[in-house]
């Protein structure tokens, strides 16, 4: 991919996402698909109740249309592209069911954790066997080294853990207007750069399509949000981001590029363990973005700072790779 092709890819996905958003958001309002705010969350968030959710449909539709169209034009529709779309739409469908049940039930409880886990595992296994139809390495490489560990038949277990883990990590991060929209844009654009470096143009195209679609979504999701992505969007983004790290064989690099998602998840784990063992909380509230809110930071400040952290975490590996 040339620089011109990259810019065009991002621009096409951006405009498709913007157009789809203009169509979808009024529809979600008419259907009264409003967000239920959990009572134990920050009280300042209660005013967001009723804001349309399931906005992930905006970028899921945009990514699908843009990927298929641009892949056809560039003759780059590969098995990898198909696997990425399956993971994106599969995890998105699980999130859609979760959001839909919440909306119908009028309470902040959708699919059970077990139901979501089973669905995520099935999709991960399907993706694994599709990849095994062609040449596929089962080695996990330590970033910026030639050291790798061949997991062999155990790679499928790693793949399940990786996809499910990051799907839920992004889901946990999705609690503030524009937070996941911005951090995921940075993460996908970064993996797009790595895909270009490794001459995997099909994956690069998909990564930049997602980045463009997320920028289009941010038009509606930045504070004050006109729509929330819901589990429809966050579960899909986390799953396909993890899948992308697998396809370019830089799985562990996601721990750096996705540092915000990792820290958000760790904050929840630490909070739960601490409360169960000592009866005390480490943070005022978890995930950690709520801790900063309750410490006096404005929602916008938390989002911008987290964007900054995500950008710095992305620039470091890109700089080291280029150097």
Give, in degrees to the nearest 5, the angle at Cα 180 between 262 and 317.
55
On the 0-12 / 13-18 / 19+ scale of CB atoms within 10 A, 121 is: middle
Q: Residue 120 phi/psi, 5° resolution?
A: -65, -40
Rounded to an integer, what distance in angstroms lies between the CA atom of residue 231 and that of residue 219?
A: 19
Is 171 annotated as contributing to ligand binding?
yes
Return the C-alpha torsion angle 168, 226, 214, 179, nearest 10: -50
Give, in degrees to the nearest 5, the angle at Cα 211 between 210 and 215.
115
Cis peptide before 281 (omega within 30 of 0): no
Return the structure tokens found at 146: 């030639």
- Report helix, strand or coil for 111: coil
Q: Which of 94, 28, 100, 99 lies closest to 58, judged by CA?
A: 28
Q: At what angle do helices 79-105 and 201-221 cross, to 10 degrees?
A: 30
- Name residue 148's beta-bridge partners: 141
Largest Cα span, the chain:
59
Overall size of the chain counted in residues = 323
Rounded to an integer, what distance in angstroms lies between the CA atom of residue 234 and that of residue 52?
A: 15
Annotated binding-site positions: 171, 231
Annotated binding-site positions for Mg(2+): 171, 231
């Amino acid at each position: 991919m040339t620089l011109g092709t990259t810019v065009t890819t991002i621009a096409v996905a951006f405009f498709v996402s913007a157009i789809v958003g203009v169509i979808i958001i009024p529809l979600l309002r008419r259907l009264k698909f409003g967000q239920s705010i959990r009572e134990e969350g920050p009280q300042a968030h209660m005013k967001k109740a009723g804001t349309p959710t399931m906005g992930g449909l905006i970028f899921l539709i945009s990514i699908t249309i843009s990927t298929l169209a641009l892949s056809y034009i560039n003759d780059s529709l590969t098995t990898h592209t198909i696997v990425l779309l399956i993971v994106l739409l599969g995890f998105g469908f699980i999130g859609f069911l979760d959001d839909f049940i919440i909306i119908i039930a009028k309470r902040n409880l959708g699919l059970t954790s077990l139901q979501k886990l089973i669905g995520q595992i099935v999709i991960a296994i399907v993706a694994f066997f599709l990849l095994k139809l062609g040449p596929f390495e089962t080695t996990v490489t330590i970033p910026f080294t030639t050291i790798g560990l061949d997991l062999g038949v155990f790679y499928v277990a790693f793949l399940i853990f990786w996809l499910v883990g990051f799907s839920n990590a992004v889901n946990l991060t999705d609690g503030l207007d524009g937070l996941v929209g911005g951090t995921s844009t940075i993460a996908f654009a970064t993996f797009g750069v790595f895909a270009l470096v490794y001459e995997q143009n099909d994956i690069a195209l998909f990564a930049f399509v997602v980045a463009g679609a997320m920028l289009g979504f941010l038009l509606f999701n930045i504070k004050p949000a006109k729509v929330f992505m819901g589990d429809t969007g966050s579960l899909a983004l986390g799953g396909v981001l993890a899948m992308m790290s697998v396809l370019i064989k830089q799985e562990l690099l996601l721990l750096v590029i996705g540092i915000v998602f990792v820290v958000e998840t760790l904050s929840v784990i630490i909070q739960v363990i601490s409360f169960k063992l000592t009866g005390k909380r480490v943070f005022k509230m978890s995930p950690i973005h709520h801790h900063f809110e309750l410490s006096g930071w404005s929602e916008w400040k938390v989002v911008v700072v987290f964007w900054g952290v995500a950008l710095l975490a992305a620039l470091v590996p890109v700089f080291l790779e280029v150097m």
